Amino acid sequence: MKSLLRRVAVPLVAVVVGLLPGVVAVEQASALTKLTHSQATSIFRAAGLTWSSSGGCSDRYNSTCTSFEQINDSTAYGVRTLKTASGCAVNITGGTEVGHASGTYSHWNGYKVDISKYTCVGNYIHNTFTRIADRGDGAAQWRSGAGNIYADEGNHWDITYYNCGGC
Protein backbone atom coordinates (compact mmCIF):
# COMPACT_ATOMS: atom_id res chain seq x y z
CA MET A 1 0.00 0.00 0.00
CA LYS A 2 2.82 2.37 0.89
CA SER A 3 4.49 1.72 -2.49
CA LEU A 4 1.20 2.30 -4.33
CA LEU A 5 0.64 5.52 -2.44
CA ARG A 6 4.16 6.67 -3.29
CA ARG A 7 3.72 5.83 -6.98
CA VAL A 8 0.40 7.71 -7.22
CA ALA A 9 0.58 10.56 -4.69
CA VAL A 10 4.18 11.67 -5.26
CA PRO A 11 3.80 12.18 -9.04
CA LEU A 12 0.47 13.98 -8.53
CA VAL A 13 2.02 16.40 -6.05
CA ALA A 14 5.03 16.76 -8.36
CA VAL A 15 2.80 17.75 -11.28
CA VAL A 16 1.22 20.45 -9.13
CA VAL A 17 4.58 21.92 -8.15
CA GLY A 18 6.27 21.29 -11.54
CA LEU A 19 8.78 18.65 -10.50
CA LEU A 20 7.55 15.64 -12.47
CA PRO A 21 10.68 14.97 -14.60
CA GLY A 22 12.87 14.61 -11.51
CA VAL A 23 10.35 12.40 -9.72
CA VAL A 24 9.94 10.17 -12.78
CA ALA A 25 13.73 9.77 -13.00
CA VAL A 26 13.97 8.82 -9.33
CA GLU A 27 11.00 6.44 -9.57
CA GLN A 28 12.45 4.70 -12.62
CA ALA A 29 15.91 4.54 -11.10
CA SER A 30 14.55 2.78 -8.01
CA ALA A 31 13.46 -0.36 -9.91
CA LEU A 32 16.76 -1.76 -11.15
CA THR A 33 17.74 -4.99 -12.82
CA LYS A 34 21.46 -5.75 -12.90
CA LEU A 35 22.88 -7.44 -15.99
CA THR A 36 25.87 -9.68 -16.47
CA HIS A 37 28.59 -8.63 -18.89
CA SER A 38 27.34 -11.24 -21.34
CA GLN A 39 23.72 -10.04 -21.16
CA ALA A 40 24.78 -6.42 -21.75
CA THR A 41 27.05 -7.25 -24.68
CA SER A 42 24.21 -9.23 -26.28
CA ILE A 43 21.99 -6.14 -26.10
CA PHE A 44 24.78 -3.94 -27.48
CA ARG A 45 25.72 -6.35 -30.27
CA ALA A 46 22.08 -6.70 -31.40
CA ALA A 47 21.79 -2.89 -31.58
CA GLY A 48 25.03 -2.45 -33.52
CA LEU A 49 26.84 -0.79 -30.62
CA THR A 50 30.57 -1.35 -30.23
CA TRP A 51 32.80 -1.27 -27.17
CA SER A 52 36.52 -1.09 -26.61
CA SER A 53 39.06 -0.93 -23.80
CA SER A 54 42.64 0.19 -23.61
CA GLY A 55 43.52 -3.19 -22.08
CA GLY A 56 41.45 -5.29 -24.49
CA CYS A 57 39.65 -6.94 -21.56
CA SER A 58 36.41 -7.00 -19.55
CA ASP A 59 37.58 -7.57 -15.95
CA ARG A 60 35.55 -5.31 -13.65
CA TYR A 61 38.45 -5.07 -11.21
CA ASN A 62 40.95 -3.79 -13.81
CA SER A 63 40.74 -0.09 -14.71
CA THR A 64 42.15 -0.67 -18.22
CA CYS A 65 39.23 -2.97 -19.07
CA THR A 66 35.68 -2.09 -20.12
CA SER A 67 33.24 -4.17 -18.09
CA PHE A 68 29.45 -4.25 -18.08
CA GLU A 69 29.15 -6.62 -15.11
CA GLN A 70 26.34 -5.32 -12.85
CA ILE A 71 25.31 -2.57 -15.29
CA ASN A 72 21.69 -1.47 -14.86
CA ASP A 73 19.38 -2.68 -17.59
CA SER A 74 18.13 0.91 -17.94
CA THR A 75 21.70 2.00 -18.73
CA ALA A 76 22.18 -0.72 -21.35
CA TYR A 77 18.84 0.08 -22.97
CA GLY A 78 19.55 3.80 -22.63
CA VAL A 79 22.71 3.52 -24.74
CA ARG A 80 20.73 1.46 -27.25
CA THR A 81 18.09 4.22 -27.36
CA LEU A 82 20.82 6.82 -28.00
CA LYS A 83 22.13 4.77 -30.92
CA THR A 84 18.75 4.15 -32.51
CA ALA A 85 17.41 7.69 -31.95
CA SER A 86 20.57 9.41 -33.21
CA GLY A 87 21.39 7.03 -36.05
CA CYS A 88 25.05 7.51 -35.08
CA ALA A 89 27.85 5.06 -34.43
CA VAL A 90 28.26 4.63 -30.66
CA ASN A 91 31.36 3.07 -29.11
CA ILE A 92 31.37 2.44 -25.35
CA THR A 93 34.76 2.99 -23.71
CA GLY A 94 33.81 2.83 -20.03
CA GLY A 95 31.36 0.76 -18.05
CA THR A 96 31.27 -0.61 -14.52
CA GLU A 97 34.99 -1.21 -14.08
CA VAL A 98 37.07 0.32 -11.27
CA GLY A 99 38.82 3.63 -11.82
CA HIS A 100 35.84 5.99 -12.11
CA ALA A 101 34.52 8.46 -9.53
CA SER A 102 32.41 6.98 -6.75
CA GLY A 103 28.88 7.94 -5.75
CA THR A 104 25.32 6.70 -5.90
CA TYR A 105 24.89 7.33 -9.64
CA SER A 106 28.33 6.03 -10.59
CA HIS A 107 29.90 3.74 -13.16
CA TRP A 108 30.47 1.09 -10.47
CA ASN A 109 26.79 1.15 -9.47
CA GLY A 110 25.71 0.66 -13.09
CA TYR A 111 24.29 4.11 -13.90
CA LYS A 112 27.06 5.43 -16.17
CA VAL A 113 28.89 4.68 -19.37
CA ASP A 114 31.54 6.56 -21.29
CA ILE A 115 31.29 6.72 -25.07
CA SER A 116 33.68 7.88 -27.77
CA LYS A 117 33.30 11.48 -28.82
CA TYR A 118 32.16 11.24 -32.44
CA THR A 119 30.88 14.28 -34.39
CA CYS A 120 27.55 12.64 -35.20
CA VAL A 121 26.62 11.79 -31.61
CA GLY A 122 27.91 15.16 -30.38
CA ASN A 123 25.71 16.99 -32.87
CA TYR A 124 22.75 14.87 -31.82
CA ILE A 125 23.27 15.67 -28.13
CA HIS A 126 23.79 19.40 -28.77
CA ASN A 127 20.77 19.71 -31.09
CA THR A 128 18.33 17.43 -29.26
CA PHE A 129 18.96 17.84 -25.54
CA THR A 130 18.85 20.85 -23.22
CA ARG A 131 22.08 22.55 -22.14
CA ILE A 132 22.20 22.77 -18.35
CA ALA A 133 24.71 24.13 -15.83
CA ASP A 134 28.25 22.83 -15.96
CA ARG A 135 29.14 19.99 -13.62
CA GLY A 136 31.23 20.82 -10.54
CA ASP A 137 34.42 19.86 -12.39
CA GLY A 138 33.55 22.21 -15.29
CA ALA A 139 32.26 19.58 -17.72
CA ALA A 140 29.50 20.96 -19.98
CA GLN A 141 26.23 19.04 -19.56
CA TRP A 142 23.03 18.36 -21.50
CA ARG A 143 19.82 16.80 -20.16
CA SER A 144 17.65 14.57 -22.34
CA GLY A 145 13.87 14.81 -22.25
CA ALA A 146 13.90 11.66 -20.12
CA GLY A 147 16.21 13.29 -17.56
CA ASN A 148 19.45 11.48 -18.42
CA ILE A 149 22.64 13.57 -18.25
CA TYR A 150 25.31 13.79 -20.97
CA ALA A 151 28.58 15.37 -19.79
CA ASP A 152 31.33 16.38 -22.21
CA GLU A 153 34.57 15.35 -20.53
CA GLY A 154 36.78 16.56 -23.39
CA ASN A 155 37.81 13.31 -25.04
CA HIS A 156 34.59 11.33 -24.36
CA TRP A 157 30.97 11.62 -23.25
CA ASP A 158 30.17 10.58 -19.66
CA ILE A 159 26.48 9.59 -19.58
CA THR A 160 24.31 9.03 -16.51
CA TYR A 161 21.20 6.98 -17.19
CA TYR A 162 18.41 7.30 -14.64
CA ASN A 163 16.10 5.49 -17.09
CA CYS A 164 16.26 3.98 -20.56
CA GLY A 165 15.14 7.12 -22.36
CA GLY A 166 11.98 5.76 -23.93
CA CYS A 167 13.16 2.26 -24.81
pLDDT tens for 78-90 read 999 999 999 999 9
Average model confidence (pLDDT) for the chain? 87
Sheet with strand 149-152: strands edge to edge: 50-51, 91-94, 112-116, 156-160, 149-152, 140-143, 130-132
Q: Is residue 167 part of a domain?
A: no
pLDDT for 41? 98
70 lies in the same domain as 80: yes
Give the span between the Cα atoms of 123 and 101, in whole angstroms: 26
126 and 55 co-located in one domain: yes
Looking at the fold, whether 4 and 84 belong to one and the same domain comes out as no
Question: Nearest-CA neighbor of 147 among 120, 134, 133, 129?
Answer: 129
Nearest residue to 48 (alpha-carbon basis) of 98, 18, 87, 105: 87
Q: Is residue 146 part of a domain?
A: yes
Residue 166 lies in a domain: no
Same-domain check for residues 89 and 151:
yes
- Provide the pLDDT for residue 166: 84
Do residue 2 and residue 58 come from a single domain? no
Give the pLDDT score at 4: 38
Which pLDDT band holds residue 30 (cuts at 50, 70, 90)?
Answer: low
Give the pLDDT confidence score for residue 44 in this predicted structure. 98
Asked if the model's pLDDT at residue 157 lies above 90, the reply is yes
Q: What does the pLDDT average to over 7-24?
A: 41
Residue 86 lies in a domain: yes
Q: Which residues contact 91 (CB under 8 A, 6 or more apart)?
A: 49, 50, 51, 52, 115, 116, 118
**Domain check: are 92 and 14 in the same one?**
no
Residue 14 pLDDT more than 90?
no
Distances from the Cα of 142 to the Cαs of 130, 131, 165, in angstroms?
5, 4, 14
Q: Total structural domains in the chain?
A: 2
- Quick one: 134 and 85 in the same domain? yes
Percent of the chain scoring above 90 in pLDDT = 79
- Please give the residue range of the domain that contains residue 111: 33-160
**21 and 100 belong to one structural domain:** no
The end-to-end CA distance of the chain, in Å, is 28
98 and 87 within one domain: yes
Are residues 72 and 49 located together in one domain of the fold? yes
Q: How far is CA 70 from CA 73, 96, 143, 164, in A?
A: 9, 7, 24, 16
The angle, 0 to 180 degrees and rounded to 10, between the axes of the packed helices 20-30 and 2-17 is 160
Q: What is the mean pLDDT of residues 57-70?
A: 96
Mean pLDDT to the nearest integer, 131-151: 97
| pLDDT tier for residue 5 given thresholds of 50, 70 and 90 | very low
Residues 27, 37 share a domain: no
145 belongs to a structural domain: yes
pTM recorded for the entire structure = 0.81
